[in-house]
C-alpha cells in the first residue's frame, strides 16, 4: 500500500538503483604452466591476465622489444639412431600421432624446430658404425664403399617423415668417430685422425651431405667432432683445437667451397669449461672464414662461457647442442636446472639453439653401444607398441619450442631475484616470456611492457611461458 505524505498526496517507493554492469575484463596474455611436482604439465591456464596500470609493490620483469639480440634457429633434441629405432616400435597410428605432436604446429603439438643427428653411430645406437666400414687393414681413399645403408632402416625414413611434417626444420649433423681405418688406433673408442686422411675425411663429410640431400634431407650445419676432448666414449675421437683448425682451414672448408655446399661448419661442440678451444679455432686466420660459430654442452663449466666466446668474436654464431637428463634425476630438480641453464641461460648468452640430448629410449634407457651412456633418459620413453611416456626433457624443450618458432629474436628482459627469464619476439609479432621460479617460495610479480603491466604468480620450482 502507498504511504501518504503529510499533505495527503500518495508517494511511490523510491526506484531501486540500477546495478552497474561489471567491467568486462578480456584476457590479453596466454599463460602455460608446468609445476615441479608434476601436478600441472604444460597446461594452458584459464586465469584472465590483462594489462593495467594499478600500482603495486611487486617485482617487475620489464620486457623491451626495442632491444634486439640474436635470431633463433630453433629448439629440439638429438634424434639418435636409438631414438628412431624405439619410436619405430610404435604401431603406425601411434607413431604418426607422436611425430605430428612433436614436429607439427597443431594445438597439441610442441613444434620442434631443430634436430641434431649423428654422422654414423653415436653412443645411443645399438652398436658403433660409420658409413665406410672396412675389414681391418683396408682403406678406401675414393670412398667407393661409402653408404648410408646402416641408417636406412630407422633414421632416414623417420627424417623424411619429419621433413614432410615440418619442411623448415633445421638439422645439424655430428660424427662421433670417422671410419676407424682413418684413425691412429684403428678403433671406435678414442684415437686421433691421421693427418694423411684429413683430405679423404673432408670428402666423407661432402659425400654425406650430398647423399642426404639426395634423400631429401638438408643438412644445415655440421660440427667436425662431437665432444673432441672426450675420447673415452664409444664411439669417440680426440681432436685438439690445433688439429680442428688445421682440418677446417686446409681440408673441410675448401672441400665445402669446391662442392658449393652452403652447410655451416660449427667448431668445438663440447663443454663450457674450455672456451679457449673455440677461441683458438676462431683465432686461426685460415680457419676463421670457414667457421660459422661454435657449439657447447654444459656437463662442465658455466653457461656464461657462451658470452665469453661471443664477446671475442661477436660476428660468429653460438649454438647450444646437448644436455642430457639422467635416469637418476628428479622431475623438479631437472625442470629448474635445465630451464634455468639450457633454455634461459643459453638464450641470454647468445645461443641460436637450445637442444636437449636424446629424443627417445626404451624402458631400460637403451639402446646404447657397449660403453655408451646407460643413464641417458630420453624426452620420451617408448613402453610398448601403443604406449609412450613424456619425460622431463619433453617439457623443458616444449616450454620454448611450442611458442618461439625459428626466426624469432631474443629481446630484452631484466632479471628479478629468483625469477630467471628470457623474452622473444616471434615473426608474427607476438611477445613470449619464459620464467622459472628458482626460489623456495611462491612469487607474485608483474610482467611490464610498454608502460602497462600484468600481475601474475609462479609457485616455487614452476615454469611459466607467457604469450601476448
As annotated, the active-site residues are: 227, 322
Look up residue 140 and give its three cell numbers: 678406401
Q: What residues contact residue 183 under an 8 Å CB cut-off, 6+ apart? A: 177, 191, 192, 193, 194, 237
What's the angle, vertex CA 90, arms to CA 359 and CA 34, rounded to 5? 45
d(CA 280, CA 218): 29
Strand order of the sheet with strand 360-362? 360-362, 380-384, 387-390
Annotate 140-177 with DSSP letters as a single string.
-TT-TT---GGGTTTHHHHHHHHHHH-TT-EEEEEES-
Q: What residues contact residue 15 under an 8 Å CB cut-off, 6+ apart? A: none
Helix/strand/coil percentages in the chain, nearest 5: 25, 30, 45
Tell me how far apart the terminal alpha carbons of the chain are, to the nearest angstrom.
58
d(CA 230, CA 296): 13
Look up residue 219 and give its three cell numbers: 643438412
d(CA 410, CA 408): 7
* Residue 396, number of CB atoms within 10 A of its CB: 26
Burial status of residue 74 (CB atoms within 10 A of its CB: 0-12, 13-18, 19 or more): buried
Amino acid at each position: 500500500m502507498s504511504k501518504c505524505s503529510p499533505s495527503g498526496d500518495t508517494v511511490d517507493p523510491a526506484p531501486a538503483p540500477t546495478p552497474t554492469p561489471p567491467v568486462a575484463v578480456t584476457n590479453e596474455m596466454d599463460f602455460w604452466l608446468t609445476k615441479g611436482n608434476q601436478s600441472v604439465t604444460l597446461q594452458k591456464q584459464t586465469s584472465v591476465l590483462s594489462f593495467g596500470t594499478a600500482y603495486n609493490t611487486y617485482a617487475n620483469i620489464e620486457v623491451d622489444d626495442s632491444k634486439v639480440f640474436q635470431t633463433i634457429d630453433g629448439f629440439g633434441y638429438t634424434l639418435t639412431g636409438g631414438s628412431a629405432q624405439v619410436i619405430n616400435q610404435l604401431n603406425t597410428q601411434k607413431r604418426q600421432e607422436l611425430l605430428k605432436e612433436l614436429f607439427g604446429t597443431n594445438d597439441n603439438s610442441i613444434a620442434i624446430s631443430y634436430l641434431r643427428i649423428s654422422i654414423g653411430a653415436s653412443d645411443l645406437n645399438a652398436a658403433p658404425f660409420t658409413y665406410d666400414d672396412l675389414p681391418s687393414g683396408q682403406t678406401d681413399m675414393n670412398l667407393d664403399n661409402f653408404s648410408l645403408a646402416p641408417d636406412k632402416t630407422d633414421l632416414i625414413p623417420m627424417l623424411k617423415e619429419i621433413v614432410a611434417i615440418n619442411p623448415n626444420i633445421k638439422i645439424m649433423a655430428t660424427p662421433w668417430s670417422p671410419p676407424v681405418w682413418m684413425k691412429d688406433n684403428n678403433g671406435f673408442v678414442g684415437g686421433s685422425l691421421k693427418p694423411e686422411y684429413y683430405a679423404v675425411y673432408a670428402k666423407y663429410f661432402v659425400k654425406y651431405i650430398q647423399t642426404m640431400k639426395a634423400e631429401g634431407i638438408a643438412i644445415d650445419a655440421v660440427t667436425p667432432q662431437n665432444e673432441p676432448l672426450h675420447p673415452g666414449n664409444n664411439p669417440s675421437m680426440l681432436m685438439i683445437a690445433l688439429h680442428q683448425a688445421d682440418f677446417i682451414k686446409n681440408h673441410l672448408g675448401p672441400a665445402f667451397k669446391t662442392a658449393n655446399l652452403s652447410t655451416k661448419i660449427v667448431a668445438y661442440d663440447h663443454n663450457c669449461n674450455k672456451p679457449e678451444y673455440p677461441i683458438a679455432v676462431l683465432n686461426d686466420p685460415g680457419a676463421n672464414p670457414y667457421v660459422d660459430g661454435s657449439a657447447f654442452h654444459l656437463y662442465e663449466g658455466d653457461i656464461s662461457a657462451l658470452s665469453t666466446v661471443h664477446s671475442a668474436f661477436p660476428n660468429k654464431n653460438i649454438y647450444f647442442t646437448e644436455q642430457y637428463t639422467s635416469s637418476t634425476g628428479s622431475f623438479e630438480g631437472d625442470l629448474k636446472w635445465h630451464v634455468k641453464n639450457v633454455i634461459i641461460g643459453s638464450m641470454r648468452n647468445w645461443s641460436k639453439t637450445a637442444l636437449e640430448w636424446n629424443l627417445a629410449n626404451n624402458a631400460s634407457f637403451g639402446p646404447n653401444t657397449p660403453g655408451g651412456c646407460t643413464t641417458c633418459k630420453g624426452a620420451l620413453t617408448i613402453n610398448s607398441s601403443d604406449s609412450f611416456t613424456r619425460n622431463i626433457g619433453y617439457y623443458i624443450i616444449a616450454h620454448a619450442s611450442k611458442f618461439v618458432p625459428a626466426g624469432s629474436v631474443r629481446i630484452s628482459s631484466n632479471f628479478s631475484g629468483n625469477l630467471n627469464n628470457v623474452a622473444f619476439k616471434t615473426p608474427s609479432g607476438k611477445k613470449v616470456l619464459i620464467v622459472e621460479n628458482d626460489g623456495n617460495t611462491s612469487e607474485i610479480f608483474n610482467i611490464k611492457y610498454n608502460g602497462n603491466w600484468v600481475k601474475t604468480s609462479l609457485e616455487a620450482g614452476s615454469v611459466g611461458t607467457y604469450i601476448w
